[in-house]
């Protein structure tokens, strides 16, 4: 996919505009993975050394590998990133096709950009993919933050109090192969209305988190 039109950063005239690139995973070159790996280490590193560890060795993903990425660039390189992966999850007893959104990051000096920019870029991509819903999760501590940025703007429905079971991306002898987390869910109605999202507080991801 080609670079799409620049988008000005929100209310900060001193910052250069972000140029968005939408690309399938197979379109990434070695140089792209190296640049993204460095971006994620610097983005996740301040939250804890363990969070940056998956991106060692020029790896540009943490768990599941994305299918398509939206990458925002400015004059300093990668500024913001979000990935998407089509998969079936189980909500309660219902199998449901979603485009899972994850691998979100914004360069520390540009935190004012917000996740809302990347969600807006992803919306037309998800429509073209024809998925019923977009789906993502965040830590429960971010509920107020994500509600302000996405819920109140009508970009996503925020579902607190979810439990999601995921497969670990690697096997360890000292821990179970799956983990259950209490999270806040984000649902984007794409081809079906929110009223058709299944009821249920337990979600089986049936794979590693994106």
pLDDT value of residue 10: 45
Q: What phi and psi, each to the nearest 5 degrees, are found at residue 175?
A: -135, 155
pLDDT value of residue 5: 46
pLDDT value of residue 1: 57
Domains of the chain: which residue ranges?
Answer: 19-205
Give the pLDDT of the chain (210 residues) as one tens digit per residue: 555 545 544 444 456 688 999 999 999 999 999 999 999 999 988 877 788 999 999 999 999 999 999 999 999 999 999 999 999 999 999 999 999 999 999 988 877 666 888 899 999 999 999 999 999 999 888 888 888 878 778 889 999 999 999 999 999 999 999 999 999 999 999 999 999 999 999 999 999 999
DSSP string, 72-123: EEETTEEEEEEEEEEEEEEETTEEEEEEEEEEEEE-GGGGGG-HHHHHHHHH
Geometric angle at alpha carbon 120, from 163 and 13, rounded to 5° = 120
- What's the helix, strand, coil split of the chain in %, to 5? 30, 40, 30
Q: Does domain 19-205 have CATH number 3.40.630.30?
A: yes
Separation of alpha carbons 147 and 155, rounded Å: 10
Element (H, E) at 129: helix 115-129
Single out the residue of 4, 1, 58, 12 nearest to residue 35, CA to CA.
58
The separation between CA 100 and the C-alpha centre of its own chain, rounded to angstroms, equals: 7
- Judge if pTM exceeds 0.75: yes
Single out the residue of 24, 56, 25 nearest to residue 42, CA to CA.
56
Task: Specify the residue for token string 């994106």.
Answer: 210
* Sign, CA torsion 107/110/115/116: negative
């Amino acid at each position: 996919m080609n670079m799409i039109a620049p988008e000005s950063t929100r209310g900060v005239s001193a910052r250069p505009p972000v140029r968005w690139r939408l690309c399938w995973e197979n379109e990434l070159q070695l140089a792209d993975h190296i640049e993204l790996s460095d971006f994620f280490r610097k983005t996740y590193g301040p939250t804890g050394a363990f969070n940056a560890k998956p991106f060692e060795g020029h790896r540009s993903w943490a768990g599941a590998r994305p299918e398509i990425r939206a990458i925002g660039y400015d004059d300093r390189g990668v500024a913001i990133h979000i990935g998407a992966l089509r998969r079936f999850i189980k909500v309660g007893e219902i199998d449901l096709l979603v485009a899972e959104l994850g691998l979100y990051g914004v360069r520390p000096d540009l935190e004012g950009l917000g996740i809302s920019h990347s969600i807006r870029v992803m919306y037309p991509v998800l429509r073209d993919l024809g998925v019923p819903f977009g789906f993502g999760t965040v830590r429960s501590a971010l509920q107020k933050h994500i509600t302000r940025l996405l819920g109140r703007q009508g970009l996503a429905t925020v579902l607190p109090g979810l439990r999601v079971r995921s497969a670990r991306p690697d096997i360890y002898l000292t821990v179970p192969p799956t983990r259950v987390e209490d999270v806040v869910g984000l649902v984007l109605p794409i081809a079906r209305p929110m009223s058709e999202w299944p009821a249920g507080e337990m979600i089986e991801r049936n794979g590693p988190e994106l």
